[in-house]
Amino acid sequence: MSTLKGFVIAGTHSGCGKTSIALGLMASLSRKGLAVQPFKCGPDFIDPGHHALACARDGQPVPSHNLDGWMLDETTNIDIFNRYGASADVAVIEGVMGLFDGISGVTDEGSTAQMAKTLKLPVILVVDARSMARSAAALVSGYADFDPEVNIVGVIFNRVGSESHGDLLREAMSLMPDVPVLGCLKRDEAIATPSRHLGLVTPNQEGPDMDRYQRLADWVETGLDLDALLETLPQIAVDPPFEPVPQLPSVTIGLARDNAFCFYYEENLRLLRTAGARLVEFSPLEDTRLPEHLDGLYLGGGYPELSVFELGQNTRLRREIKAFCESGRPVYAECGGFMYLMNDIITGRGRYAMAGVFPIRAEMFEKFRALGYREVTTQAETLLGPAGTCGRGHEFHYSSIQDEPGMQSLPSVYSMTGRKGPITTPEGFQMGNTLGSYVHMHFGSQPEMARYFVDACKRESIRNMQD
């Protein structure tokens, strides 16, 4: 058993600046020589990519891990936190949306507050203080008293206009001595992390601008005393879960990873490796051939719509991937990876040919077409398990399938429910040993999925050798 400092950075609402502050804190703690382990509440893929760079050690990114009170059970969340926190000096968990926002309006399920209670971690509340003085104290009071089990140990005011504005905020907070003001950060839009229609710009899209994280660290340090903040936090005991002896790799799975395909839950990859997979990365943008001796493919999500021209021009790899799918070797594709396996993608700039595995096309829209948590139950045997396999994930995309005749020829193998009940839109499409879906499944919700996928690769590998 080991100990570390740990805290949750939560916001009053989305857009209050918690991501910029979390990144600044991570970068500042890291350059002090501390080993910082980042985590992200919720299903987001983009923030963890920034975390990994802000917490880099010896020039190497430190993977950030998703924690989620709806997709994952309590034991799994605790295991993930303990597994990766055990080797760190400090754990920083960035929240999702507002502190109490989750899947329900009446419970804390899926919220940052739920995760803080599950992990027994203190919460630092980020408040956008623009145009507020004494009202800020009233706001903080409401958050502090809303759920007595959530331990708010301090507040950071963001977008503070001036020194005198900060003085007013501290004066107002003197009415709440149990929630100290940890810092007042001046308004500085120049250091904000750029955003786009699906949230923040990914590090892959913009290039690893390491200077940005150092600028964020400088900004955070001008408004708060980091050493004093750490001093106020208790040491937390972490007990890493028992890890069985890992299996020697028995199959090789190609993992699409580049600017267009970069959305993967780190736990999914760990579970695949634990089940006996060796993961070999390749780029559908840059590589003209698949890696040799692959037994399966995993095509994750991302932003293929931003690279449709380059993907379409890479004709040789598109054809090789289609042939791989037609060979019967297992291929699992999620969201952007699923779009890549369609006939084409339609954007405002035109129609672009993709791999042509599924006889349908995806069309991009200005507004999102689906958003929310999903519980999936398979209606037939798939790469992820026998009929009746149940797992949880998340769906968020701005495209939809536009080829109805093609849809009619595709068997839909998922039944889904969301926050409001059953979802009737067909989902989960299987052709041979290729499974595609808009849903990002979290294998931590059903670890058998990873094992079943690896076993499917093993069976097909043995069959090919016998042939």
Residue 77 has which token pair?
A: 């969340």
Mean pLDDT calculated for residue range 42-61: 95
Q: Is residue 152 part of a domain?
A: yes
Q: Is residue 368 part of a domain?
A: yes
Quote the DSSP letter at residue 249: P
Looking at 71-80, 235-244, 414-423, which range is the least confident one?
Answer: 235-244
Task: Quote helix, strand, coil % in the chain, to nearest 5.
Answer: 35, 30, 35
Q: Is residue 245 part of a domain?
A: no
Asked whether residue 269 falls in the same domain as residue 207, the answer is: no
204, pLDDT greater than 60: no
**Helix, strand or coil, per DSSP, at residue 168:** helix
Asked whether residue 80 falls in the same domain as residue 221, the answer is: yes
Q: Is residue 244 part of a domain?
A: no
Q: Is residue 246 part of a domain?
A: no
pLDDT of residue 117: 98
Asked whether residue 230 falls in the same domain as residue 263, the answer is: no
Boundaries of domain holding 6: 2-238
The string of pLDDT tens digits covering residues 272-314 is: 999 999 999 999 999 999 999 999 999 999 999 999 999 999 9
pLDDT of residue 198: 43
Asked whether residue 126 falls in the same domain as residue 223, the answer is: yes
Q: Is residue 350 part of a domain?
A: yes
Number of domains in the chain: 2
* 393 neighbors 428 (Cβ within 8 angstroms): no
For residue 298, give the CATH number of its domain. Answer: 3.40.50.880
For residue 29, give the CATH number of its domain. Answer: 3.40.50.300
Give the pLDDT band of residue 402 (cuts 50, 70, 90): confident
Asked whether residue 211 falls in the same domain as residue 321, the answer is: no
pLDDT of residue 409: 79
- The answer to whether residue 390 is catalytic is no
The single residue of 16, 55, 335, 457 carrying the catalytic annotation is: 335
pLDDT of residue 188: 83
pLDDT of residue 209: 65
Per-residue exposure over 349-382, b if at least 16 CB sit within 10 Å of its own CB, e if not: eeebbbbbbbebbbbbeeeebbeebbbbebeeeb
* Threshold 0.85, pTM exceeds: yes
268, pLDDT greater than 70: yes
**Helix, strand or coil, per DSSP, at residue 443:** helix
Report the alpha-carbon distance of residue 461 to residue 249 in Å, rounded.
13
Q: Is residue 358 part of a domain?
A: yes
**The last residue of a domain, from among 191, 209, 238:** 238
List 83's β-bridge partners, or say none.
Answer: none
The string of pLDDT tens digits covering residues 118-172 is: 999 999 999 999 999 999 999 999 999 999 999 999 999 999 999 999 999 999 9
Q: Which residues contact 431 (CB under 8 A, 6 or more apart)?
A: 325, 357, 358, 410
Asked whether residue 190 falls in the same domain as residue 260, the answer is: no
200, pLDDT greater than 50: no
Asked whether residue 67 falls in the same domain as residue 153, the answer is: yes
The string of pLDDT tens digits covering residues 247-259 is: 789 999 999 999 9
Asked whether residue 205 falls in the same domain as residue 270, the answer is: no
User: Rounded mean pLDDT of the chain?
Assistant: 93
pLDDT of residue 142: 97
